[in-house]
Amino acid sequence: MENRLHDFDAKIARLKRKSVELKGDAKAQADKALDELNVQRDKASRQLEELKRRSASAWEDVKAATASAMDDLKDAYENLKARFQ
């Protein structure tokens, strides 16, 4: 899961570079969407850190929450990526 998070960091950085070229309302919308994407990324990161700290008995619960956060991040990324195409 840590590798997936690093992959999203790279993907987010590419979208951010593309957003620099936008102007006006499109730029404002992209910036807002990137901010929201970063919130999702931070949530996934926190869940991953929690997963690392948990005992074996609680691992499955945290693993499920982390997987859900990663799925949310993927969905948010895909939605924003579609706006750039």
Give the distance, in angstroms, between the CA of residue 22 and the centroid of all CA atoms in the same chain. 21
Identify the residue with better confidence: 73 or 53: 73
What are the tens digits of pLDDT across the range 6-51? 998 999 999 999 999 999 999 999 999 999 999 999 999 998 888 7
For the chain, the domain total comes to: 1
Residue holding tokens 């949530």? 43
pTM of the model: 0.68
Report the pLDDT value the prediction gives residue 56, as an integer from 0 to 100. Answer: 67
b vs e for 5-33, b when ≥16 Cβ sit within 10 Å of the residue's Cβ? Answer: beebeebbeebeeebeeeeeeeeeebeeb
Report the pLDDT value the prediction gives residue 84, as an integer from 0 to 100. Answer: 80
Q: Whole domain around residue 57: which residue ranges? A: 2-83
* 42: its two tokens: 């931070």
